[in-house]
């Protein structure tokens, strides 16, 4: 089996070489799949991520959530921890040291039974996830296990099998432009 490092390198190359119109088109298909789920309809708050470097574009999901009157929160990393902060169209954003847009704000939200749209570098058919290596989502979800988790990915990010550790938290669902893995 390939190492996490090898898989990350492969996926980053595929993402870098993806055409912008294909990323937009596939991201819109993924958004429509999410909007059709009861988990989305029933959620009062959506925890999303700010897409970066050819990830699935989450702006479409965030926009639809706001239109539907849902509360939205985006993550900000402080040291080795991640917190989510309220987001709306007037929220000021700032770039992190990694170049990722993060919301300004004083008070992190206290999650309830929220719906989280989570990123990842690679996944397998058993819903194992390789993230970026910081463990932020694993630590956050360990603290708040009631959160419903949906990972979004392009089909090329799905592998037959990837290495996983006991501390890795699997999303309840993975949605690509072609399928939904539960």
Question: Using CA atoms, how far apart are residues 124 and 65, in angstroms rounded to an integer?
Answer: 28
pLDDT in tens, 14-31: 999 999 999 999 999 999
Taking phi over 0 as left and psi of -120 to 50 as alpha, with beta for the rest, 168 belongs to: beta
Angle between helices 20-35 and 59-67 (to 10 degrees): 40
Cβ contacts of 27 within 8 Å, gap of 6 or more: 51, 56, 57, 58, 60
Amino acid 78: pLDDT? 86
Q: In this structure, are strands 122-124 and 129-130 parallel, antiparallel, or unpaired?
A: antiparallel
Burial code (b: 16+ CB inside 10 Å, e: under 16) for 61-75 equals bbebbeeeebbbbbb
pTM: 0.94
pLDDT in tens, 27-74: 999 999 999 999 999 999 999 999 988 999 999 999 999 999 999 999
CA within 13 Å, CB half, 123: 27
Reference 58, options 105, 101, 114; nearest CA is: 101
All domains of the chain, ordered by start, with CATH?
4-181 (3.40.50.10420)
Mean pLDDT of the chain: 94
Amino acid 80: pLDDT? 86
Q: DSSP labels for 78-132? A: ETTEEEEEEE-TT--EEE-TTS-EEE--SS-----S-EEEE--SEEETT--EE-S
């Amino acid at each position: 089996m390939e190492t996490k490092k090898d898989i990350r390198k492969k996926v980053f190359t595929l993402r870098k070489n993806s055409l912008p119109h294909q990323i937009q088109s596939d991201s819109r298909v993924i958004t429509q799949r999410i909007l059709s789920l009861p988990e989305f309809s029933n959620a009062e708050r959506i925890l999303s991520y700010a897409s970066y470097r050819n990830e699935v574009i989450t702006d479409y999901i965030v926009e639809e959530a706001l239109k539907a009157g849902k509360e939205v929160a985006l993550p900000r990393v402080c040291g080795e921890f991640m917190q989510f902060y309220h987001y709306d169209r007037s929220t000021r954003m700032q770039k992190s040291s990694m170049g990722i847009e993060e919301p300004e704000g004083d008070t992190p939200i206290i999650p309830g039974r929220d719906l989280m749209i989570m990123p990842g570098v690679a996944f397998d058919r058993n819903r194992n996830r390789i993230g970026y290596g910081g463990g932020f989502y694993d630590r956050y979800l360990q603290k708040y296990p009631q959160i419903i988790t949906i990972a979004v990915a392009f089909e090329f990010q799905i592998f037959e099998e990837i290495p996983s550790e006991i501390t890795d938290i699997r999303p309840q669902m993975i949605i690509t432009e072609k399928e939904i893995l539960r």
